[in-house]
Chain A
Amino acid sequence: MNRSTGQPASATRRQFLKAAATGAAVFAIGFYLPFGRRARAQGVPQAVETPPPNLFLTIDADNNITLISKYLEMGQGVTTGLATLLAEELEADWSQMHFEFAPNDASVYNNLVFGPVMGTGGSTSMAGSWEQMRKVGAAARSMFVEAAARKWRLPMGELKAEKGHVLHGSGKRASYGELAADAMQLPVPRDAPLKDPADWKLIGKNLPRIDSPDKTDGRATFALDIRRPGTVTAAVAHPPLFGARPTGFDADAAKKLPGVLDAVQIPTGVAVLARDSWSALRGRDLLSVEWDNSNAETRSSEQILADYRRQAEGAGLPAANRGDAAAALGRATQKFSAEFTFPYLAHAPMEPLNCALEMKDGEAHLWAGSQLQSIDERVIAEIMGIGVDRVRIHTLLSGGSFGRRGNPVGDWVAELAQIVKASDSKAPVHLLWSREDDIRGGFYRPAVLHQLEVGLNDEGDISGWQHKVVTQSIFSGTPFEQMMVSDGVDHSSVEGLADTPYQIGDFSVRSFNAESPLPVLWWRSVGHNHTAHVVETTIDALAAMAGADPVEYRLKLLPDARDRETLKLAAGKSGWGGNPGENRGRGIACHRSFGTPVALVADVTVDGDAFQVDKIVAAVHCGVAINPDIVAAQVEGAIGFALSTLLRNEITLENGRVQQSNFHNYVPTRMREMPKVEVHIVPSTDAPTGIGEPGVPPLAPAVGNAIAAATGKRMYRLPFALA
């Protein structure tokens, strides 16, 4: 059984179909989506009679069950989660489960939350597959039982499915693998019943991650690890300024290097093609390129911020407006006003962007940690001048993403296609971005400015909240614009603020869309990563002004049971109210994103201008925790990830040039900085909500509020500056 995660699913599919045609025991199940459309037959000989190839699982003669994952595994544990749902209803044993990635086909592998596209993101995977994957499993189980019933001439009701086998009281026993060929001939039941939560054997258990073995012995195949015969590596000299274009180049020095094969100009720069990675990177460094900077971003970060402030003096667009915030502020007896600033941020996944493209028999084969296959396939089709149906995406494990690999313009995939087109390469070309390319490559979390004024009345209740947000729109001009932008307001600029669960009667949020040639992108938790800090810092300050306990103050404003339970759980588990000691502070923050409230209690030690986060007690309500250990890991990881933005991470421009370049001046959180993290999950059997992103937003305010508790100083800018 091929359990390599690096094997493209379509190749396996072909093998399986071939096996199926010859009667070998291989099982596949087709599952019909609301569209009622079938997947195109990928590489399937016309003559072969097959079941619909729109598959979510295969079972081989050795009883290995392979999940076909429609989602990209980028560390969030999605393959384990999907396999759990499948195995639960299938009555499979966990040791039987393997996975591979689905081919690009949105008609089958549609993201049911934000489709019709094939893509992973927005912390939607488990929510979007909760029903679907269990139904696939339940249907398959029913088919195995029926196949056994027919074989043994026994009523289905007397048979039982258990650990990948069908059993009968008489001692008859057959593995799914043995039954696969027969079961595959049966019609797919559409209404196979789902198990009662009380009968779950796998859901809710801390199963070992399905991708763990290969990721601990060097076998795991990431996109950078794909090896196609004759592959040429490409590295690109990118413009030093965003929005600049190449107008000419001199590659004489580069071409003198023994490994360098070619150099070609493409819209995003000049590419060197070489025999290996090192030659490509060296050759790239020897290029001399002329740039047209006439449309480039040439401002410095301070100028951009100054421009934001100037823009905020205008009217902006209404993003939330209820009651009369101005009038209520007029009646207020105390006021809190503040300005918050957030820098550009790079995603900096550990695996730099890379992908390989091979043109073969009129088809384009892409190997990539593709997060939005429906975008990437169109980008390639357009550039290569072929139909979308001629693009085959072989999705591979990705070494992190945090949003970067899901790009609405498919920037890195498009760059590779341009290289292949410009060089007319017959050999597979693997595009490699260096870490410097990654840090300086744009598509950042945009810089953001918040300005707000909030009033309190004599009782300490909110009396008017006026708020302005200036930032670049992430969604405008992308295929997702319709979903997220209305009347000019990009919801992602104000999410977590305009729709805050806090009950604020007189509330106004105005959104200002800043413009820049610097491309921006969603970055783990998108708008929430700044709005949560502003809202939760403000609420904490208001509680202090009102002389109220920060937890009690929040509870008074939060009507939703999920938010309340989460906040109370974090407070309770942390021993909220205790005195953390000399030079130490304790702070709390609670924020709901992607349907999941997360409350964090942070303990910090302040030492002069420096601070150490000692401990985080987290509570999370994500509906049913399909794998509680992975839920905890996502929250732990989100805290480790987000901490770098409090400590030091920022992308700054000087006359348009990015000043950071690698992990010495854009330094992620290190082990010694990682706080002890304790994660508590609110028990629930509700359908699952997001978990990959929601841990990020409340970290900055929880830590900031702890610092304020220790020092009296509020954190109005990121990264934090205590001086």
Chain B
Amino acid sequence: MITLKINGESHQLDADPQMPLLWAIRDHLNLTGTKYGCGRALCGACTVHIDGEAARSCSVMLGDAAGRDITTIEAIEGPVAEAVVGAWRELNVVQCGYCQSGQIMSAITLLSKNPDPSDEDIDASMEGNLCRCGTYQRIRAAIHRSARNLGGRS
């Protein structure tokens, strides 16, 4: 039995400790906001927060996730999360939307650590999140907008 602490709740899972956290979240806990895109930590669609870090859940083994603080897109909260989601909506960022859970999770981590990121900071931090629809320009603008709304300068 593995105990997963997700979105503030503990879940007991009878599963292989090598199973990627992604599939436990999606298939066993039915939290489908976290997406499968590549399975190899190349696209960022599966990004969740583990102890505040923007982890790729497809590359986190269940055993390694046990007992840690995991948050998925469904349960993000706080001023940074609100600013990010708000900016995403204000700027009509989404297109197909499939990558956006991961984009938002990474953006929240970025802004939590760097409240006033430059374009270069954004590029460096968002590098691991692919968007095939090409919404990058708006993602960048939305991160700046979030920073501004949070009291940063950008």
Contacts and interface: CB of A to CB of B under 8 A. Distances in A.
Interface of A: 73-77, 206, 208-209, 211-222, 224-225, 227, 233, 258, 276-278, 281, 348-352, 397-402, 432, 434-435, 629-630, 633, 636-641, 643, 662-664, 668-672, 674, 676-677
Nearest to B33: A218
A206 B97 CA distance: 19
B134 A640 contact: yes
Nearest to A397: B97
Contact of A218 (B28, B38, B73, B89): B73
A350 B132 contact: yes
B2 interface: no
Given A216-B89, A640-B133, A349 B96 contact: yes
A208 B89 contact: yes
Given A76-B95, A217-B33, A350-B99, A435 B85 contact: no
Given A216-B97, A349-B96, A349-B98, 5 more contacts: A73-B96, A76-B95, A222-B97, A227-B32, A663-B40
9 contacts: A215-B97, A215-B100, A216-B104, A218-B73, A258-B16, A277-B27, A350-B37, A637-B135, A674-B134
Count chain A CB atoms within 10 A of each CB in B31, B34, B73, B134 and give the residue with the most.
B134
A397 B126 CA distance: 25
Contacts of A630: 92
A281 B30 CA distance: 18
B130 interface: yes
A356 B41 CA distance: 25
Given A216-B85, A278-B19, A674 B34 contact: no
Contacts of B34: 218
Contacts of A258: 16
A221 B96 CA distance: 11
Contacts of B40: 435, 662-664
Contact of B23 (A76, A217, A221, A277): A277
B36 A211 contact: no
Contacts of B127: 670-672
A625 to B, nearest CB: 14
A84 B137 CA distance: 25
Interface in B8-52: 16, 19-20, 23, 26-28, 30-40, 42-43, 45
Interface in B115-151: 122-124, 126-127, 129-140
Task: List the 5 closest A-B pairs by CB distance, nearest first.
Answer: A640-B134, A218-B33, A399-B98, A75-B96, A215-B97
A278 B134 contact: no
A359 to B, nearest CB: 22
Contacts of A641: 132-134
A20 B71 CA distance: 42
Contact of A221 (B32, B101, B140): B32
A349 B27 contact: no
B133 A75 contact: yes
A637 B27 contact: no
A350 B130 contact: yes
A274 B65 CA distance: 24
Count chain A CB atoms within 10 A of each CB in B34, B101, B124 and give the residue with the most.
B101
A211 B96 CA distance: 9
B109 interface: no
Given A217-B85, A221-B32, A672-B123, A399 B137 contact: no
Count chain A CB atoms within 10 A of each CB in B38, B39, B45, B123 and give the residue with the most.
B38
A179 B130 CA distance: 47
Contacts of A636: 134-135, 137-138
A270 to B, nearest CB: 20
Contacts of B140: 671, 674
Interface of B: 16, 19-20, 23, 26-28, 30-40, 42-43, 45, 72-74, 76, 85, 88-90, 92-101, 104, 122-124, 126-127, 129-140
A402 B89 CA distance: 24
A711 to B, nearest CB: 26
Contact of B137 (A75, A214, A219, A676): A676
Contacts of B123: 671-672
B16 to A, nearest CB: 8
A663 B32 contact: no
B90 to A, nearest CB: 8
A352 B36 contact: yes
A225 B32 contact: yes
Nearest to A438: B38
Contacts of A676: 137
Nearest to A6: B32
A662 B137 contact: no
Contact of B98 (A209, A351, A662, A674): A351
A612 to B, nearest CB: 12
A75 B27 contact: no
A672 B122 CA distance: 9
Count chain B CB atoms within 10 A of each CB in A75, A216, A432, A676 and give the residue with the most.
A216
Nearest to B31: A218
Given A76-B95, A399-B35, A633-B135, A217 B130 contact: no
A639 B130 contact: no
A218 B95 contact: no
A51 B39 CA distance: 48
A352 B45 CA distance: 12
Nearest to B94: A215
B117 to A, nearest CB: 12
A5 B148 CA distance: 31
Count chain A CB atoms within 10 A of each CB in B26, B30, B39, B124 and give the residue with the most.
B39
A351 B20 CA distance: 18
A213 B89 contact: yes
Contacts of A211: 94, 97
B87 to A, nearest CB: 10
A626 to B, nearest CB: 14
Contacts of B137: 636, 640, 674, 676-677
Given A402-B132, A435-B38, A637-B133, A350 B43 contact: yes
A90 to B, nearest CB: 22
B38 A662 contact: yes
Given A219-B33, A636-B134, A663-B40, A350 B45 contact: yes
Nearest to B128: A670
B20 A278 contact: yes
